[in-house]
Amino acid sequence: MGGSKSTSATSAEAEVFSLSASVAEMEAMAKKLRRHIVTMVGKAGSGHPGGSLSAVEIVTALYFKILRHKPLDPQWEDRDRFILSKGHAAPLLYATLAECGYFPVKELLTLRQMDSRLQGHTDRTITPGVEMSSGSLGQGLSFALGAALAGRVDGRGYRVYALLGDGECNEGQVWEAAMATAHYNVDNLTAVVDNNGQQIDGWNCDVMNLDPFVGKWQAFGWKVIEVDGHSISQLIDAFKEAQKVKGQPAVIIAHTVKGKGVSFMENNPDFHGKAPNAIEMELALKELE
Amino acid sequence: MVEEVSIREAYGKTLLELGMENQDIVALDADLSRSTMTRFFAREFPERFFECGIAEQNMIGIAAGMAAAGKIPFASTFAVFVPGRCFDQVRMSIAQPGLSVKLVTTHGGLSVGEDGTSHQSIEDLSLICSLPGFSVIVPADAIETTEAVKAAAATLGPFYIRLCRPKLPLVYSEDYQFKLGKAAMMRQGGDATIIAIGLMVKAALEAARNLEREGIYCRVLNMSTLKPIDEAAIIQAAAETGAIVTAEEHLEHGGLGSLVAQVVAKNRPVPMEFIAIKDTYAKSGKPSELLERYGLTDKDIERGVKSALKRKR
């Protein structure tokens, strides 16, 4: 699979990450990322497997097919930015960054340990490739909008992608940002909602009903694209369609399953923020072979 | 009669000037650009001004994202809304990552006046000083405001500059050299030290002048940089004058008085008095009436000095 072939970490020589992967290769990568997530969280003894597993295909499609980025030069000024607003999906982002070559894959096993660069929630000050310190929900779309407006003011061609949780959309700030993004006719930003239907206390509709969810985004001035969030090809098509939307922002509502890929974690809010024990970890990894 | 000058206007004009010099400077406001005076910048550089509407949390996030992309954002609204309304956004989007966002708030303190409790920002300094990495400045007049805003633009990292609504008498002349993190000696004296910020600096100077007539010689320090605080100047004042009175337009808890007391207690314990609002909310009134009612006048400072002196060894 693609990757930066540069052996030097200097900014000028670092190459743009190859986006030549096939759908089949990305599907294999998605499975690999799921194994990393289960192993990392299991070893750490705490963390958020459910919302990491649901967004695997979204993040895989982005990093291996859509984003222009340089793993050996994470601060490359013209890079596309990926803002993980749902910061509890940090294990997924770390696994992806490691597989892209931002840092060694073996470092993934240090998740949540003292002195690790892989904090419980993302920290932009210490992890190569992490754009935003998140974990307090609702803040990522505003941050992404700031980066998108800065790119527009500077005449840079980069795009900004923000990944939000559906439960996260309970936060009022998300809608402040949604209003402002449309107000400024921002079209170099794509939001993606990992619409897995669940949050810590249960199903969204019972905790705090978001419906009509599509209608809300449309009413706020957004072009809405709905996809199966576990279909790499649908996601890639949606990202490309979103790039073509001009004069308004686009949001991809990706219908997903919380805990996807591990039968006993699927649609089980218990695994929102609980690590698998040793036996569960073994079972999960067997399912992901 | 000393000339009174709007420190908000000084901010607006300085921001405009900085915008002419540096393309990376952008400004944001939350529907108060006429009051905060960011409108000067907005008129000249509409493409670099971002009106965020009445949505402060979002404004903080946008500013943070811009800073992460290399801009130098100045975000303004009333001090009562930032950091109070959006403390977690300031904490996680700006302070933790140490992003170079410059928060310049106006209408701080009691002197906002008639608008009453909801608009009187008397906790903001405590909140913002609790955040690691923030530099916090409360200028004493228009000249210092200009210098502080320039220093914030030229220095990496997050800044909070708190301005008040009323025009303030000048305490400095044009040749004043603001030094970030350094207290300014406004008046020499050996009997006690008054450490003040913002509009209380003028009151401190008047108190010192009045006390001199009674044979009490006060040192006056303007501690305009609240954070990082000038520990050396505080320790020196404690050692050389043996009594300290702080004066601020803020609650007694968590502001200038608390910060100075920590330094004093740790290094050179001396009697202290705290001229500040005492654990209460204020009401509507004229600024001068409010300052008098809640104990923030030169007379209150004089009483504080005398009280501290009684306990001085």
Q: ipTM value, please give it.
A: 0.96
The pLDDT, as a whole number, for residue A71 is 97
- Element at B274 (helix H, strand E): strand B272-277
- Please tell me the total number of residues recorded for chain A in this structure: 289
pLDDT at B66 over 70: yes
In a domain, B178, yes or no: no
**Can you give the CATH number for the domain in which B60 is found?**
3.40.50.970
Model pLDDT for residues B104-123, shown as the tens digit of each residue: 999 999 999 999 999 999 99
In a domain, B17, yes or no: yes
Nearest Cα to Cα of residue B4 among B209, B207, B141, B205: B141
- If asked whether residues B223 and B246 sit together in one domain, one would say yes
3-state secondary structure of A27: helix
Tokens of A19: 């986006």
Q: Which residues does residue B27 pair with via DSSP β-bridges, in sequence order?
A: B49, B74
Task: Give the range among A2-16, A132-146, B36-50, B61-75 with minimum mean pLDDT.
Answer: A2-16
Residue from the list A77, A153, A180 with its beta carbon closest to the beta carbon of B52: A180
The pLDDT, as a whole number, for residue B89 is 98
- If asked whether residues B210 and B110 sit together in one domain, one would say no
- If asked whether residues B152 and B56 sit together in one domain, one would say yes
Which positions in chain B touch A153 (Cβ < 8 Å)? 26, 47-48, 71
Using pLDDT thresholds of 50, 70 and 90, give the confidence band for residue A6: very low
Model pLDDT for residues B194-233, shown as the tens digit of each residue: 999 999 999 999 999 999 999 999 999 999 999 999 999 9
Nearest Cα to Cα of residue A223 among A208, A238, A236: A238
Total domain count, chain B:
2
Task: Report domain extents, chain A.
Answer: 23-287
Q: How many CB atoms lie within 10 A of CB B55?
A: 22
CB contacts < 8 Å between A and B, how many?
Answer: 109
Of the three residues B120, B143, B169, the one that is the final residue of a domain is B169
Strand ranges of the sheet holding B244-251, from the earlier edge strand across to the other edge: B184-187, B218-222, B192-196, B244-251, B272-277
pTM: predicted TM-score of the whole model, two decimal places: 0.96
Which positions in chain A touch B52 (Cβ < 8 Å)? 180
| Partner A contacted by B62 (CB < 8 A) | yes
Which positions in chain A touch B68 (Cβ < 8 Å)? 124, 131-132, 143, 146-147
Which positions in chain B touch A143 (Cβ < 8 Å)? 61-62, 64-65, 68, 93
pLDDT at A2 over 80: no
The pLDDT, as a whole number, for residue B2 is 77
CA nearest to A123 within chain B: B97
- If asked whether residues B78 and B208 sit together in one domain, one would say no
A188: DSSP letter: S
Chain A contacts in chain B segment 93-132 (CB below 8 A): 93, 96-98
Using pLDDT thresholds of 50, 70 and 90, give the confidence band for residue A4: very low
Host domain of residue B200? 184-310
Answer yes or no: do B47 and A153 touch at CB < 8 A: yes
pLDDT at B145 over 50: yes
Nearest Cα to Cα of residue A228 among A267, A256, A195: A256
Residue from the list A136, A138, A146 with its beta carbon closest to the beta carbon of B62: A146
Å from B191 to nearest chain A CA?
Answer: 47
**Could you list the active site residues of B?**
56
Q: Are B121 and B78 in contact (CB under 8 A)?
A: yes
Crossing angle of helices A172-183 and A140-153, in 10° steps, is 20
Q: Which of A124, A153, A161 to mutate to test the interface with B (most CBs of B within 10 A)?
A: A153
In a domain, B236, yes or no: yes
- If asked whether residues B102 and B200 sit together in one domain, one would say no
Å from A139 to nearest chain B CA?
Answer: 6
- If asked whether residues B13 and B147 sit together in one domain, one would say yes
Model pLDDT for residues B76-101, shown as the tens digit of each residue: 999 999 999 999 999 999 999 999 99
Answer yes or no: do B58 and A124 touch at CB < 8 A: no
Answer yes or no: do B89 and A177 touch at CB < 8 A: no
Q: How many CB atoms lie within 10 A of CB B51?
A: 19
| Partner B contacted by A237 (CB < 8 A) | no
- If asked whether residues B149 and B43 sit together in one domain, one would say yes
Residue from the list B26, B61, B91 with its beta carbon closest to the beta carbon of A143: B61
pLDDT at A200 over 70: yes
| Partner A contacted by B210 (CB < 8 A) | no
In the structure, how many helices (H) and strands (E) does chain B have? 12, 14
Which positions in chain A touch B88 (Cβ < 8 Å)? 136, 139
Q: Are A254 and A195 in contact (CB under 8 A)?
A: yes
More confident: A91 or A11: A91
Model pLDDT for residues B250-279, shown as the tens digit of each residue: 999 999 999 999 999 999 999 999 999 999
Of the three residues B137, B169, B201, the one that is the final residue of a domain is B169
Q: Which CATH class is domain A23-287?
A: alpha beta
In a domain, B177, yes or no: no
In a domain, B11, yes or no: yes
In a domain, B174, yes or no: no
Q: What average pLDDT is seen over chain B? A: 97
Q: Are B247 and B297 in contact (CB under 8 A)?
A: no
- Give CA separation, A67 vs A55, A57, A80, A208, B258, in Å: 16, 14, 6, 33, 49
Chain B contacts in chain A segment 138-167 (CB below 8 A): 138-151, 153-154
- Element at B247 (helix H, strand E): strand B244-251
Torsion sign, CA atoms A54, A58, A61, A63: negative
Using pLDDT thresholds of 50, 70 and 90, give the confidence band for residue B148: very high
Chain B contacts in chain A segment 164-193 (CB below 8 A): 172-173, 176-177, 179-180, 183-184
CA nearest to B89 within chain A: A139
The amino acid at residue A186 is: V
| Partner B contacted by A135 (CB < 8 A) | yes
Please give the average per-residue pLDDT across A93-119, as a whole number.
Answer: 98
Which positions in chain A touch B63 (Cβ < 8 Å)? 146
Q: What average pLDDT is seen over chain A? A: 95
Please give the average per-residue pLDDT across A169-195, as a whole number.
Answer: 98
- If asked whether residues B22 and B162 sit together in one domain, one would say yes
Please give the average per-residue pLDDT across B44-58, as a whole number.
Answer: 98
Which positions in chain B touch A177 (Cβ < 8 Å)? 58, 61-62
Å from A32 to nearest chain B CA?
Answer: 31
pLDDT at A54 over 80: yes
Q: Are A124 and B65 in contact (CB under 8 A)?
A: no
- If asked whether residues B44 and B109 sit together in one domain, one would say yes
**Can you give the CATH number for the domain in which B295 is found?**
3.40.50.920
Of the three residues B169, B197, B222, the one that is the final residue of a domain is B169
- If asked whether residues B74 and B190 sit together in one domain, one would say no
Tokens of B28: 């944001």
Note if the bond before A128 is cis, omega within 30 degrees. Answer: no
- If asked whether residues B98 and B231 sit together in one domain, one would say no
- Give CA separation, A225 vs A67, A192, A243, in Å: 19, 9, 12
| Partner B contacted by A266 (CB < 8 A) | no
Model pLDDT for residues A129-155, shown as the tens digit of each residue: 999 999 999 999 999 999 999 999 999
Q: Are A143 and B61 in contact (CB under 8 A)?
A: yes
What's the Rg (C-alpha) of chain B? 19
Answer yes or no: do A142 and B65 touch at CB < 8 A: yes
B2: DSSP letter: P
The pLDDT, as a whole number, for residue A14 is 87
- If asked whether residues B231 and B120 sit together in one domain, one would say no
pLDDT at B158 over 60: yes
The pLDDT, as a whole number, for residue A5 is 43
